[in-house]
Structure 1
Amino acid sequence: MAPKVLVSDKLSETAVQIFRDRGIDVDFEPNLGKDKDALIAKIGEYDGLAIRSATKVTEKVLEAATNLKVVARAGIGVDNVDIPEASKKGVIVMNTPFGNMITTAEHAIAMMFAVARQIPEASASTHAGKWEKSKFMGVELTNKTLGVIGAGNIGGIVCDRALGLKMKVIAYDPFLSEERADKMGVTKVELDELLTRADFITLHVPFTDQTKNILSRENLSKTKKGVRIINCARGGLVDEEALADLIKEGHVAGAAFDVFAKEPATENPLFGLPNVVCTPHLGASTTEAQENVALQVAEQMSDYLLTGAVTNSLNMPSVTAEEAKVMGPWIKLAEHLGAFVGQMTDEPIEAINILYDGSAAELNLEALNCAGVAGIMQASNPDVNMVSAPVIAEERGIKISRTTQHKQGVFDGYIKLTVKTPSRERSIAGTVFSDGKPRFIQIKGITIDAEIGQHMLYTTNKDVPGIIGTLGQTLGENGVNIANFTLGRASAGGDAIALLYVDGVVAPEVLQKLEATGLFQSVKPLEFEVA
């Protein structure tokens, strides 16, 4: 029987025809996704669901989707899909991360022109029969300094277009190497320098705990007088109320926003202010982009349903169906190794090497490499997946290499991940035990045997008495239960580490208490996605 796909949002007829041409039984109901109850009543008969943003794939929808194998989003954002629940149900979630990069970058450039020349207000005035030529005095972009926060896929395109406009481009991106910045023709700077130098500031980063309100009231106050702010990335990156105040005070000359902290944005502190250009999240809204992502999603879903091949998945590695059963635990291990290093590293990564020993060297190393790199990159960008991670790493000038060797040591096979930054190298190794559970077996060259949990605490210190007692007492007094406690040392009295698996997030004040003891060189909370 042919696989059956439901298209519940507006996709192009060309994309729908791709399903038919490849032997997929497809139902095209572009308005069904807006009716949650109707979707729940119908979803049980389908193997695949193709959506845009209108369809909400909730826990209840997934519960009713008894035959569903794959959900594919035509676009990058998957906020409308409950990915953890989909994973529990064994449903693969795909997106199309690269289909609208150019369109979004072009919108940012267009918004920059619009705010520089006050085009929307001048147009409205002229339409009203006025001729207020002297009222709308703009500024040129040529020779102005553009500050780009986030120089990844879309930000990189904006940099390229801005250089073509003869702007001076400076970029803040912790993961942008000096070598990559030189190739792009931009100057890599720290955030404070960007704020004080830029005539225009444009944001191109995902919304994370690190980037939330990256342009806070404090940071906005550091900006150059007369700066103009453009945000076509994500709502919540800018303190909109603070920005509105600075516009009213005359410190900020204008702003152009396509995204807002609360959407749909029917009211906002920026609305109605002079020289503020607002659009309703149009970054990906071009005919070309919508067609590209629709065609991509049809091809990806067809490939998976007909051959088992997985592309651009957010919750499963890009491996064949035959490999998935064997590879699963090792891919999870590679992700954990990467996540550890990614959370420990706060400076640009220049190189990543992944060593595969023994039985691990006989697996699908491309998929394992992607998993390890994705684990690293997800520490700063949760939108990264196994497919996009190597591309993003390459764009940032990160050199990725892998090494294989015959069995050495006590384990049948293991993986060792090493990253190089301008100041140091950091490495971690792990293996998969016979029970299928990944374990950390070496950190900083120190042998350990650590179970991996969702919430962990990592400390470094000298091998002196009192470490175990201090950790146990401090965590216990603050209601943090220890599930597993692993210690390791290089030598008696030398460098030592502790890795604790705890039952909840360790609060900042508890970390401060541990640091205040003077026993620890570093205290770092870590988070891992575990099944």
Structure 2
Amino acid sequence: MKILVSDDVSMKGVDLLRENGYEVDVKKNLDEQGLIDCIGEYDGLITRSMTHVTEKVIEAATKLKVIGRAGVGVDSIDLKSATARGIVVVNTPTSNTLAATEHTCAMIMAITRHIPQAHNSLMAGNWDRKTFTGIQLQNKTIGIIGVGRIGSRIAKRMQAMEMKTIGYDPYIPEERFKQLGVEQVDLDTLFKRSDYITMHTPLTKETRGLIGKEEIAKMKDGVRVINVSRGAVLDIYALAEALKSGHVAGAAIDVFPTEPLTKDINPFLGMDNVVITPHLGASTVEAQIGVSVDVAEGVMEALKGEPVATAVNMAPVPPNVYNVIHPYFDLMERMGNLAVYLADAPMKEIEVEYTGELADTETRLLTTAVLKGALNPILQESVNYVNAAEVAKTRHIAIKEINSQSNGYFVNSVTVRVRTNKGEHAIVGVLFNGTEAKIVQIDEYRVDFTPEGYLLLVPHVDQPNMIGQISTILGQAHINIMGMQVGRMTKSGNNIMAIAVQDDIPNDIMVKLRSINGILDMKLIHCDIH
């Protein structure tokens, strides 16, 4: 597979991709048309903030399966178009957390003690101590907008400077605020009480233009404003006016609505109460290596068809949940694959029942894995973790999840039921030792097999010589049997044979097998997933 890297990223990530067999081209400074002209030959794209992946680019990306953003913000990527095409968009939300935190702290100190201005004055040959008298952080109040990964770390560091910390974040529970020692307030209260205001939010519909002229007017006189998050969260022109009037005593800005910030659109030129930097929040050696390696790993997972914990156009999965459900993904997809082969007619409903540890966690992504396994064998379009639920919906397949304490036999298990207008089939799967996928029941039959390769399922009457007749026909056709297991019906009467074979079985051989007296049904299933 081919991957295009369109921005500056550490070669550590590029080398990792190449070591794993991917062909990687690095083409920087491509405009929209340049990207459109070449994107059609690539399976993956890795960008930073300078590359704009527009709807037109995505339309031209006929092979594209994943877009990796080496960083946090994805506002330069048309998420709606990517999701509609089933293209996974991944970012690296944790790799530059510490770098952004430290840069924010540096910016706070810079505007508090006028460090850049004092430096420039001294370099110009002046010795001026009085002009650059600063203030102390002790007992000042810092208002943190967005108390997530970075905001929480800012709080910890500013508390060490003996600052009072208040915060606003509608997505963080009250208990978390208490754990952090941050007073939870509404936005208006934060504006009125804060001596410093720092922003650490993603760019969304809700946060775009979050702080403008009206919000700045609510702030106390002499406030200092810091933004090391996303440029469009803050109206820099309204801020510049407030800096000129003295209502805002100082500002430190690292990100801007339009980047790069050129002279003709820079409202801060010539102002001595502002510190600006060219989007340096993530610019440390360690962070650049981290985002490059992390985005490479995310892109490889997506290209292998695996779920990616940092995919932004899928339901987010907290790390503690991901650690629980991750071992089950392969099993779930294979169970979905088995289910569609067992179905005797178009699927009407897929029900997934979770017991044990899975019943107590978030399982939507696991159910998506079942859909992916069930839909890929029957559709021409590629079905993945991004579009599986929508594809099922467009085909009027109902999805149902059930959580229960036990199925009566295994403590931790998953049951997949597929319903058609002709009836229902059920598959029960478990993980042995937390890693080995096993199917332990099909309908009313107890079995024990690994869902891999080609599998011949043969429900039959419980009578002598069934195994011998089937083995003879397969042997005469030079079809190698890799394994065989007979499962009894949970009540009484019939058995089921699960026969693992090395290769596909031709139709004429399947006809001979079906003609054996006592054979009730026969299905050849290709269990491997793609």
- 1:349-428 aligned within 5 A: 359-362=351-354, 368=363, 404-405=403-404
CA distance in 1, matches of 2:17, 2:128: 54
Q: Are 1:145 and 2:141 counterparts? A: yes
Correspondence for 1:518: none
Post-superposition offset of 1:369: 5.0
Q: Which of the residues 258, 263, 288 maps onto 1:262? A: 258
Amino acid of the structure 1 residue aligned with 2:187: L
Query: Cα RMSD between the aligned structures?
Result: 3.5
Provide closer, same or farther for how the CA distance between residues 275 and 325 of structure 1 changes in structure 2, counting only shifts above 3 A: farther
Q: Is the 8 A contact 1:16 1:26 kept in 2?
A: no
Provide closer, same or farther for how the CA distance between residues 323 and 83 of structure 1 changes in structure 2, counting only shifts above 3 A: farther
Alignment size in residue pairs = 352
Larger Rg: 2
CA distance in 2, matches of 1:214, 1:316: 25
CA distance in 2, matches of 1:269, 1:26: 44
Q: Which of the residues 51, 70, 86 maps onto 1:55? A: 51
Q: Are 1:229 and 2:228 counterparts? A: no
CA distance in 2, matches of 1:58, 1:105: 30
CA distance in 1, matches of 2:35, 2:51: 9
- Give CA deviations for 1:136-155 in whole Å, capped at 9, x if unaligned: 11111122211111211111
CA distance in 2, matches of 1:324, 1:82: 29
Provide closer, same or farther for how the CA distance between residues 127 and 71 of structure 1 changes in structure 2, counting only shifts above 3 A: same
Post-superposition offset of 1:370: 6.7
Provide closer, same or farther for how the CA distance between residues 173 and 56 of structure 1 changes in structure 2, counting only shifts above 3 A: closer
Q: Which of the residues 26, 30, 37 maps onto 1:29? A: 26
Provide closer, same or farther for how the CA distance between residues 194 and 38 of structure 1 changes in structure 2, counting only shifts above 3 A: closer
Provide closer, same or farther for how the CA distance between residues 248 and 55 of structure 1 changes in structure 2, counting only shifts above 3 A: closer
CA distance in 2, matches of 1:212, 1:285: 24
Provide closer, same or farther for how the CA distance between residues 251 and 5 of structure 1 changes in structure 2, counting only shifts above 3 A: closer
Amino acid of the structure 2 residue aligned with 1:25: Y
Q: Are 1:219 and 2:218 counterparts? A: no
CA distance in 2, matches of 1:269, 1:433: 63
Post-superposition offset of 1:50: 2.1
Q: Is the 8 A contact 2:354 2:402 kept in 1?
A: no
TM superposition score normalised by structure 1: 0.59
CA distance in 2, matches of 1:201, 1:264: 24
SS in 1 for 2:162: coil
Q: Is the 8 A contact 1:10 1:30 kept in 2?
A: no
Correspondence for 1:135: 131
Post-superposition offset of 1:321: 7.3
Provide closer, same or farther for how the CA distance between residues 204 and 167 of structure 1 changes in structure 2, counting only shifts above 3 A: same
Correspondence for 1:273: 271
SS in 2 for 1:135: coil
Provide closer, same or farther for how the CA distance between residues 302 and 198 of structure 1 changes in structure 2, counting only shifts above 3 A: same
CA distance in 2, matches of 1:91, 1:321: 20
CA distance in 1, matches of 2:22, 2:12: 15
Return structure 1 stretches of 4+ with deviation > 6 angstroms.
324-327, 432-435
Q: Is the 8 A contact 2:42 2:61 kept in 1?
A: yes
Correspondence for 1:282: 280
Provide closer, same or farther for how the CA distance between residues 434 and 155 of structure 1 changes in structure 2, counting only shifts above 3 A: farther
- 1:66-85 aligned within 5 A: 66-85=62-81
Provide closer, same or farther for how the CA distance between residues 133 and 48 of structure 1 changes in structure 2, counting only shifts above 3 A: same
Post-superposition offset of 1:323: 4.8
Amino acid of the structure 2 residue aligned with 1:243: L
Q: Is the 8 A contact 1:11 1:30 kept in 2?
A: no
CA distance in 1, matches of 2:269, 2:43: 44
CA distance in 2, matches of 1:265, 1:195: 27
Correspondence for 1:296: 294
Provide closer, same or farther for how the CA distance between residues 229 and 312 of structure 1 changes in structure 2, counting only shifts above 3 A: same
SS in 2 for 1:176: coil
Amino acid of the structure 1 residue aligned with 2:22: D
Amino acid of the structure 1 residue aligned with 2:99: T
Post-superposition offset of 1:229: 0.9
Correspondence for 2:444: none
- 1:112-123 aligned within 5 A: 112-123=108-119
Q: Are 1:110 and 2:109 counterparts? A: no
CA distance in 2, matches of 1:16, 1:192: 46
Identity of counterpart residues, as a percentage?
A: 43
Q: Structure 2 stretches of 5 or more lacking a match?
A: 318-325, 337-349, 368-384, 387-400, 407-417, 422-530
Q: Are 1:253 and 2:249 counterparts? A: yes
Q: Are 1:158 and 2:154 counterparts? A: yes
CA distance in 1, matches of 2:3, 2:285: 24
Q: Is the 8 A contact 1:12 1:291 kept in 2?
A: yes
Post-superposition offset of 1:258: 1.2
TM superposition score normalised by structure 2: 0.59
Post-superposition offset of 1:104: 1.2
SS in 1 for 2:353: helix
CA distance in 2, matches of 1:270, 1:142: 28
Q: Is the 8 A contact 1:103 1:286 kept in 2?
A: yes
Q: Is the 8 A contact 2:139 2:164 kept in 1?
A: yes
Provide closer, same or farther for how the CA distance between residues 209 and 64 of structure 1 changes in structure 2, counting only shifts above 3 A: closer
Q: Is the 8 A contact 2:351 2:402 kept in 1?
A: no
Provide closer, same or farther for how the CA distance between residues 259 and 8 of structure 1 changes in structure 2, counting only shifts above 3 A: closer
Correspondence for 1:193: 189
CA distance in 2, matches of 1:16, 1:48: 12
Post-superposition offset of 1:120: 1.4
Q: Is the 8 A contact 2:73 2:202 kept in 1?
A: no
Post-superposition offset of 1:231: 1.2
- Give CA deviations for 1:179-202 in whole Å, capped at 9, x if unaligned: 212211121222232222221111
SS in 2 for 1:115: helix
Provide closer, same or farther for how the CA distance between residues 220 and 67 of structure 1 changes in structure 2, counting only shifts above 3 A: closer
Amino acid of the structure 2 residue aligned with 1:100: N
- Give CA deviations for 1:97-137 in whole Å, capped at 9, x if unaligned: 22111111211111110100111111111111111111111
Q: Structure 1 stretches of 5 or more lacking a match?
A: 328-357, 373-385, 388-401, 408-431, 436-531
- Give CA deviations for 1:437-469 in whole Å, capped at 9, x if unaligned: xxxxxxxxxxxxxxxxxxxxxxxxxxxxxxxxx
Provide closer, same or farther for how the CA distance between residues 146 and 65 of structure 1 changes in structure 2, counting only shifts above 3 A: same
Q: Is the 8 A contact 2:332 2:366 kept in 1?
A: no
Correspondence for 2:440: none
